[in-house]
Amino acid sequence: MRRLVLFIFVLLQFGFFRVSAQKGLADMEANRFLYYADSTCWTQLFDKCKALQGKEARPVRVAHFGGSHVQAGIWTNEFLSLLQTTFKTKGGGYFAFPYAIARTNGQPYVDFSSGGAWKKCRAVQKDYCLPLGVNGMSASTNDSLVRVTIRITDRSVCRKFNMLKMYHNFNASFKWQLVKQEGVETAGQDFPDKGFSYYGFEHFVDSVQIEIVRKDTLQKDFTLFGFSIENTEPGFYCAGLGVNGASSSSYLKCNLFDQQLHSLVPDMAIISLGVNDVQAKEFSKEEFKANYDTLIAKLKRANPDIAILLTTTTDNYVKRKTPNKRTILAQQAFFELGAKHNVAVWDVFKVMGGYRSINKWIKAGYAKRDRVHFSGAGYRYLGQLMYEAFMQSYNRQQQLKPHR
């Protein structure tokens, strides 16, 4: 009994330490979105968020691009979950890649499982290969029969869905179909020109299974690029598009990026790339900006009214030992990109405390000792900070709107 009491006491003490450690960790005065000449796209986005409380609302679609900060999904999930809570919505859905099948870490809101042998392909320099889509990663199999199970977890806000889009390569040597569930009527259709197969459900479900059968060996490999798991009720649709090791050039290598992005049509895009760029000795500010120029152009082609947020590179060290001054150059590049393209910037580098601030975050238990990555608590805190900056802008816009 004494041990149990002591254990509970330690847990409470640890919890209180984390709460107190959070105080003063971030520069709250800097925690805001910076806008430039015209913020019309953001006004439109905030209007869409406000409309979620109406009868004819449609989901607000948010895409978050990044490297390992985003692949884990914690930062993105915290941000979108807080928005769902604030706007009292539970619809929307997720774009999710089957990271577990590719044998790497993934997002907390969807679980994937499958038998058989799968190989992954990534848009990073070490193992770059094609084909690749909007997520920057693919998983391929040549097995004669596999089943992929997709299940919403209890860590998601949107717990059920009534639409599913499976993005894949339409290999004629394979047959794919939805495994029927008792009492659930479904309708399906292939859209090869858009790169996905569509399935609609008469009733909301929390899991499905896809069966993939090899018919012959004329063409090798059935390739998955991800799943759009959609709930047509009001809410926030979350596309966490992260690849460990991704840099500003990674998504530009993906041959199916534009096609799949056009089908997602995000209302808001968050780009959190740069840590892997500034880790390189040959980092070029101009090349970095040029990569962002191209990526921003792609986003605007997919949706001319898209609200784009650039997050500056988080503070980091090179090989754990050397404070990375190239991060300051990247910060300057983001301000220049914001002005050039009239997109918003969230200066998370300054919010963290600036140069060498990662050490404070490590001491608080919010960053890892590699001085690059964050802990689970740290990524959740980033999501909370981004949410607070978002809501600050949203509330200001609501106050400035003329009364009718």
Query: Region 277-294: what's the mean pLDDT?
Result: 98
Q: What is the C-alpha to C-alpha distance for residues 3 and 77, in angstroms, rounded to an integer?
A: 36
pLDDT reported for residue 53: 83
Query: Region 57-84: what's the mean pLDDT?
Result: 97
Number of domains in the chain: 1
- Backbone dihedral region for residue 39 (phi beyond 0: left; psi -120 to 50: alpha; all else: beta): alpha
- Quick one: pLDDT band at residue 6, thresholds 50, 70, 90? very low
pLDDT reported for residue 1: 53
Q: What is the C-alpha to C-alpha distance for residues 32 and 351, in angstroms, rounded to an integer?
A: 9
**Residue 1 counted as domain residue:** no
**Which comes out higher in pLDDT, residue 303 or 54?**
303
Query: Is it the case that residue 31 has pLDDT exceeding 50?
Result: yes
pLDDT reported for residue 237: 97
Q: How much of the chain exceeds pLDDT 90, in percent?
A: 87
181 touches 201 (CB < 8 A)? no
pLDDT reported for residue 158: 95
Nearest in space to 253 (alpha carbons), one of 281, 200, 211, 294: 294
**Residue 382 counted as domain residue:** yes
Residue type, 204: F
**Residue 45 counted as domain residue:** yes
**Residue 13 counted as domain residue:** no
Each residue's pLDDT tens digit, 241-271: 999 999 999 999 999 999 999 999 999 999 9
**Residue 244 counted as domain residue:** yes
CATH number at residue 212: 3.40.50.1110
Residue 178 β-bridge partners: 210
- Domain, as residue range, for 171: 26-400
**Residue 7 counted as domain residue:** no
**Residue 15 counted as domain residue:** no
pTM recorded for the entire structure:
0.93
Q: What is the C-alpha to C-alpha distance for residues 136 and 167, in angstroms, rounded to an integer?
A: 13
**Residue 3 counted as domain residue:** no
Range in 56-60, 130-134, 385-389, 392-396 with the lowest mean pLDDT = 56-60
- Quick one: pLDDT band at residue 71, thresholds 50, 70, 90? very high
